Amino acid sequence: MFQFGEHSLDLASLERIAFKKMPVALSSHPGVIQRIERSAKHVRDMLANDGKIYGVTTGYGDSVVREVPPELVEELPLHLTRFHGCGLGRFLSPEETRAVIAVRLSSLLQGWSGVSLELVERLTDMLRLDILPQIPAEGSVGASGDLTPLSYIAGALAGERRVLHKGSVKLSSDAFAEEGLTPIKLKPKEALALMNGTSVMSALTTLAIRQAHRLIELSTRMTSMTCLAILGNPKHFDARLFNAKPHAGQMDVAARIRSDLAPFAERHQAQRMQDRYSIRCAPHVIGVLSDALPSLESILTTEINSTNDNPLFDPETGDVLHGGHFYGGHVCYVADSLKVQVANLADLMDRQVATLVDTRFSNGLPSNLSGSTGERAPINHGFKAVQIGVSAWTAEACKLTMPASVFSRSTECHNQDKVSMGTIASRDALRVNTLVAQVAAAHLLATTQALEIRLHRGELTDQDIGPDIAKTIARVRERAEFVSEDAPMDDVLRALTTDILDGAFTI
């Protein structure tokens, strides 16, 4: 059980919440409740004393110069949710939406945002009861935060937006009624507190980072299997080599490959002094991402446990602090950095697959890894088209690595004149991950085919394979058969891609 308000939200817990593997609740600890109620009281007190508060007694953004008459202050929050109801593109998945709600709760419960206990209770109810706003993915430039996509959460709390609930899309007011709840009336500052932050980009980037861990493990195992399949040189992964260049992540990747290849290394002499770079330098490619992740995760963990709306209210004094914490520059940096290094994994695996299917480089494997022999061999083409697909997916992943941050646009009457583009970067990172997982799925099928061909021919034995690689082969074969006759592979590839991204396929 994750108690919102009592603990910091780490990335692994956020992913578990997103996939409904960890129940949630709002902390009932008196200190947490007092922190929220005190923050809401600061807003009430300032309004009672005729204080001016951006977005409460003024218009939004460039309209800050427009004063809102006292009799209209209570209507202003709902208007903010309504005029931002212009998002387009796909809807976020249920997993992505849960992650967004969880990150927003984490931010609001810091006690700087001026929201009521009722609001955070209802937001927790939505997460707990799986009442998921339909959030369009497109329409945010990452400052002032994720205004448009987060408006779909604020509007849903008010009963005005569509949600996914119990397998059906319905108005949030209807979903609340089914659960014995009612919509809330957004109080002054509450719509702005919900919408003016980095929760969408932070949530999506967190899921992308968690996927990247799995892609590191898989590309490492694929390198081991490719080296075996071409009867390569295990000495490229000698511990002494990596002690001479001791990047921690790179050393870890090399150690895992070395362990995978140990049974083969004990029984075989290398046929080549030096294998091609896609084998020999694989730890140096994969290791960059492995070494970068701790720093990227630290930045993102800070962000999801921060207060990132505007204005803020000093918890002790109630002073209004106007700033720019909604700016998603740190998240954009993480997502932009992540997608570059993950795309490099695709490029690595693409070269490895190309090596396996080409008789000039595969050290005796059949053309395109065809499993057909005898009189039917001429009409069968094995993995020929799959290799083309791998190349296409890799090219698209690499194309998406252009940093989003450099495409800042001046928006909203030049009030938002420098923006982060973090939400676009986070979506890019997820898309790159999907493409790289597609490459990995194809690579799994190809290397498993190659190793089984070697085994059938007696060029490798079960003792050469070792238990860890044997386990990976067995799990591939639970999903796909050896390709002896040409057949469509799209359904298998699609299912395997999903399992890779979600963690259902383990090595």
Assess if residue 475 is contained within a domain: yes
Tokens of 75: 């209507």
CA 102/CA 107 separation, integer angstroms: 9
> For residue 180, what are the domain limits?
2-197
- C-alpha distances (whole Å) from 477 to each of 28, 197, 224 are 49, 45, 18
Q: Quick one: pLDDT at residue 269?
A: 77
CA 340/CA 394 separation, integer angstroms: 12
- Whether residue 179 sits in one domain with residue 228: no
Assess if residue 507 is contained within a domain: no
Tokens of 463: 């003792």
**Stretch among 57-61, 314-318, 381-385, 476-480 having the lowest mean pLDDT:** 57-61
- Is residue 363 very low, low, confident or very high in pLDDT (cuts 50, 70, 90)? very high
If you average pLDDT over every residue of the chain, what do you get? 95
Q: Quick one: pLDDT at residue 171?
A: 98
- Whether residue 493 sits in one domain with residue 378: yes
CATH number of the CATH domain containing 482: 1.20.200.10
Give the tens place of pLDDT for each residue, 49-75. Answer: 877 888 888 878 778 888 889 888 899
Q: Quick one: pLDDT at residue 139?
A: 95
Give the tens place of pLDDT for each residue, 260-289. Answer: 999 998 887 777 789 999 999 999 999 999
**For the chain, what is the domain count?**
2
What mean pLDDT do residues 408-413 have? 84
Q: Quick one: pLDDT at residue 115?
A: 97
Q: Quick one: pLDDT at residue 263?
A: 95
CATH number of the CATH domain containing 33: 1.10.275.10
What residues have CB less than 8 Å from 270, skipping those under 6 apart?
Answer: 232, 233, 234, 235
- Whether residue 229 sits in one domain with residue 146: no
Q: Quick one: pLDDT at residue 87?
A: 97
Domain end position, chosen among 155, 177, 197: 197
- Whether residue 397 sits in one domain with residue 354: yes
- Whether residue 368 sits in one domain with residue 438: yes
Q: Quick one: pLDDT at residue 414?
A: 81
- Whether residue 238 sits in one domain with residue 159: no
The pTM score is: 0.96
CA 413/CA 404 separation, integer angstroms: 22
Cα of 480 vs its chain's centroid, Å: 27
- Whether residue 257 sits in one domain with residue 166: no
- Whether residue 298 sits in one domain with residue 354: yes
Q: Identify the bridge partners of residue 312 per DSSP, sorted by sequence position.
A: 321
Give the tens place of pLDDT for each residue, 432-489. Answer: 999 999 999 999 999 999 999 999 999 999 999 999 999 999 999 999 999 999 999 9
Asked if pLDDT for residue 166 goes beyond 80, the answer is yes
- Whether residue 260 sits in one domain with residue 146: no
Domain end position, chosen among 181, 197, 213: 197
Please say whether the beta carbons of 283 and 242 come within 8 A: yes
Assess if residue 74 is contained within a domain: yes
Domain end position, chosen among 170, 197, 224: 197
What mean pLDDT do residues 100-119 have? 97
Please say whether the beta carbons of 56 and 189 come within 8 A: yes
- Whether residue 94 sits in one domain with residue 226: no
- Is residue 245 very low, low, confident or very high in pLDDT (cuts 50, 70, 90)? very high
- Whether residue 211 sits in one domain with residue 168: no
The CA-based angle 51-52-58, given to 5 degrees, is 145
- Whether residue 259 sits in one domain with residue 180: no
